[in-house]
Amino acid sequence: MALPSEISVSEVGPRDGLQIEAKQIATADKIALIKLLIATGLKKIEVTGFAHPKVVPQLADAEQVLAGLRKPDGVRFAAFVPNAKGAERAIAAGIDDLKSGIATSDTFNELNVRMSTAQGMRALDEIAAAAKGTRSRIVGVVATAFGCPYEGQLPESQLFQLFEQLVGMDSPVIYLADTTGVANPGSITRTVEKLRARWPDQPIGLHLHNTRGLGLANAFAGLELGLRDFESSVGGLGGCPFAPRAVGNICTEDFVHMAHELGIKTGVDLDKLIAAAQFAQEMLGRTLPGMVMKSGKATELHDKSVARIKID
């Protein structure tokens, strides 16, 4: 299949990227980062999450973050919501997209949201009921869609059941999450093709982590399948706090750079995105995994008289 001419990039750094950070990030710094991301042209930004503060302390200031932002026309703010109470808070705060989903793995689901998969599916129905009649919509995510580090490969029937529930909720796109980085380009292709065979009209997206260095390879497999919706994190921030040996999400600026080099439009200003990644790195006070913010774009030319350096 030919590569898509244009794709949609959903930035998840302010939520999925920061939630694992042990050092509490100041609300003002989170707001400043999100404003820089808005300025890049990104149209979908996951700005926070509405989990219980004791479970995810980094997101305890969700309402304050939203209160400090002005959302431009055409931009959608998303937030993770694990249950109906979280959804009600998110709706009251003006969230557009309720990011909600269930892991195919009972073990992972219990670690992540303190529920079994069956309980999570009931919670998803309650979230849908809370959203009904409001301006907020459910955007579905199936976690551990390609396997679980605790239970291994799971029956396809579990993935199909969760996917079907989200299809029934009119989710505009359903993201398959490689939450702990066990996928490879082959498993990405096989899984997407099987879902398309059953639900050919349902848009599918990918939420990828770079746990074993295959993040961009998996994203490219998605592009070859013609997928148009991808989630990534500025600077390569992230890593699920409930995953063993967690590594960050695929890096937004690295992925956007790859897309642009392939001739795929993203609507994102890469230079401004690199600046946002550099701000995130300074904010956290450590080197982040992203490579393009260190090495520069492939199109940049260098003065041969300038000393060559090794980047970390």
How many C-beta atoms lie closer than 10 Å to residue 167's C-beta?
A: 16
Provide the strand spans (E) within the chain.
Answer: 8-11, 44-49, 76-80, 97-103, 137-143, 174-177, 204-207, 229-232
Supply the pTM of this predicted model.
Answer: 0.95
User: Which residues face 100 on adjacent strands?
Assistant: 140
How many C-beta atoms lie closer than 10 Å to residue 207's C-beta?
A: 25
How many C-beta atoms lie closer than 10 Å to residue 109's C-beta?
A: 24
Residue in the structure block whose two tokens are 């199909």: 160
The CA–CA distances, whole Å, from 127 to 84, 132, 294 equal 5, 9, 41
pLDDT of residue 291: 95
pLDDT of residue 244: 66
Tell me which residues are annotated as active site.
240
Query: Mean pLDDT per 10-residue run, the chain (312 residues)?
Result: 93 94 95 98 98 92 98 97 96 97 88 85 95 96 92 92 95 95 96 98 97 95 98 91 74 98 98 98 95 94 88 78
CA 188 to CA 287: how far, in whole Å?
Answer: 30
Greatest Cα-to-Cα distance within the chain, rounded to the nearest angstrom: 64
- Tell me the H-state helices in 75-184: 84-92, 106-113, 117-131, 156-167
Question: Cβ(240)–Cβ(233) under 8 Å?
Answer: no
Q: Decide: residue 43, CB within 10 A, 0-12 exposed, 13-18 middle, 19+ buried.
A: middle
Secondary structure of 43-83 in HEC code, one letter for each residue: CEEEEEECCCCCCCHHHCCHHHHHHCCCCCCCCEEEEECCC
Tokens representing 86?
């979280």
Nearest residue to 114 via CA among 168, 61, 54, 72 = 54
pLDDT of residue 245: 67
DSSP class of 248: P
Residue in the structure block whose two tokens are 């100041």: 26
CA 214 to CA 66: how far, in whole Å?
Answer: 34
Tokens representing 25?
């990030």
pLDDT of residue 180: 86
Right CATH for 8-295 from 3.30.160.270, 3.20.20.70, 3.40.50.2300, 3.40.50.300: 3.20.20.70
